[in-house]
Amino acid sequence: MKDLSIVFPCYNESGNLLNLFSKLKNILKKNSGLKIEFIIVNNGSIDDTADIIKKNLNKKYFKIVTIKKNIGYGNGIIKGIIKATGKIIAWTHADTQTPPEDVVRLYKKYKIELLNNNCVVKGLRKNRPLIDNLFSFFMSIFSSSIFSQRLIDINAQPKIFNRKFINHLRNAPKDFSLDLFFLYIAKKNNFKIYTLPVYFNKRLDGYSKGGGSFYGKIKLTFRTLAYIINLKIHENNFTSNK
């Protein structure tokens, strides 16, 4: 069993993958005592993602999960989690806007808590544009008021958790609502959420699939609001471990 598994969902990220792979190989060099695996999920990409993965990855340290048709961001992450063997599992984006080094940094900081206590770890994005911060702020206010739980920067990466938490993800949504669902379930089951600042880089290539443009942000916001309301209506279906 590995110490840490990190899942990277990729949808049309061909322009960012070589930078990602370089960072991951550097992590392996600097953390030789850490049993770590990287799970690269090609989530139905229609660009050169598959070819770049095939030509550049050593399967000794990388697992490749191929999904023929993209049916959602959340589905890709869950498929990657299913393949993970780590005692601790994380996911973050392949665009490296959240540096993968931060996943290892947060893992090391909270390793003991993650192994022995009911907790999860998430990022809090720093250095973001004002408009992005405003969208995140109002979404946090709305979701926190609906669920009577404090939820901050819902879509921030990474998300890190003990593999036992997988049992709580059985009914996870297959779209971008996964990040919200993850935090909601953690709160509902009395897990402590550690939130640590992570530096948020500019995208090197392509566009954010979760709302890069203003129009995309509006669409994502309305989808998330609808999911929050639906989750609230059906929250009795999710049994708490109190």
Q: What is the pLDDT of residues 173-216, one digit of tens each?
A: 999 899 999 999 999 999 999 999 998 888 877 766 655 566 66
> Would you state the pLDDT for residue 241?
46
HSE (side-chain half, CA atoms, 13 Å) at 84 = 32
CATH number at residue 212: 3.90.550.10
**Residue 242 included in any domain:** no
Q: Is the model's pLDDT at 145 over the cut of 90?
A: no
Residue carrying the six token digits 């995309």:
216
pLDDT tens figures, 24-62? 999 999 999 999 999 999 999 999 999 999 999 877 779
Average pLDDT, the chain: 90
**Residue 137 included in any domain:** yes
**Residue 23 included in any domain:** yes
Query: What percent of the chain is predicted at pLDDT more than 90?
Result: 65
**Residue 182 included in any domain:** yes
Query: What percent of the chain is predicted at pLDDT more than 70?
Result: 93
Q: State how far the alpha carbon of 143 is from the alpha carbons of 91, 104, 132, 148, 235, in Å.
A: 22, 29, 17, 8, 13
**Residue 136 included in any domain:** yes
Residue 49 to residue 66: CA distance in whole angstroms: 11
**Residue 141 included in any domain:** yes
Q: What is the average pLDDT across 89-99?
A: 95
Based on the structure, what is the number of domains in the chain?
1
Tell me which residue range forms the domain holding 114.
4-237
Q: What's the pTM?
A: 0.90
